[in-house]
Structure 1
């Protein structure tokens, strides 16, 4: 389960950063500069990385038995700027049980 959590945390941060770059690109595209270069470049990567994010979220939700609604909400967090960062922190702190302490002999 720890590996699934680590994969989820890494891809959540990557998707969040790429989504912020895409949002900046949208501001540039529809702003005074009308430059769509950033959107054309980053848009493809965000789409691909979002699919990886969905797979990592699904994998984590199966290892830690989440209700279907929680899984869908975490998956949708990758579509709203800054929300994937919050969701990653919330998942790590509240929705994944702490590992059992090792028994010392």
Structure 2
């Protein structure tokens, strides 16, 4: 699950950065400066990266067995500026806590079971 978490973290950051570029730079240039060049470049890139984010996040959700509502929230986080960064932190803490809890459970040996 560690590699799935790393992939998710990278995807969340990349999608977040491209969404910020899209909303804070490209959109104002389109509507205030009447220049559609940057939005024509960044928009499709963000769209493709968001699809990658969805696949990576869903894979992590399946491995971690998250509830549907939590999974849906994480999947939608890539559509709201800055939220993918928040979701990445929360997901990282959740997965690490689950891994620590799973590792902290006592392991029964075959002699202790008798």
Structure 2 distance, partners of 1:72, 1:27, is: 29
Point out the structure with max Rg over C-alpha: 2
Q: What is the aligned residue count? A: 99
TM-score by length of structure 2 reads 0.83
Stretches of structure 2 that go unaligned for 5 or more consecutive residues are: 105-114
The answer for the alignment partner of 1:26 in structure 2 is 27
TM-score by length of structure 1 reads 0.90
Q: CA deviation at 1:7?
A: 0.3
The answer for the alignment partner of 1:85 in structure 2 is 85
The answer for the alignment partner of 2:68 in structure 1 is 68
The answer for the alignment partner of 1:16 in structure 2 is 16
Q: CA deviation at 1:28?
A: 1.1
The answer for the alignment partner of 2:37 in structure 1 is 37
Q: Which has the higher helix share?
A: 2
Structure 1 distance, partners of 2:65, 2:7, is: 17
The answer for the alignment partner of 2:46 in structure 1 is 46
Structure 1 distance, partners of 2:26, 2:66, is: 35
RMSD: 1.1
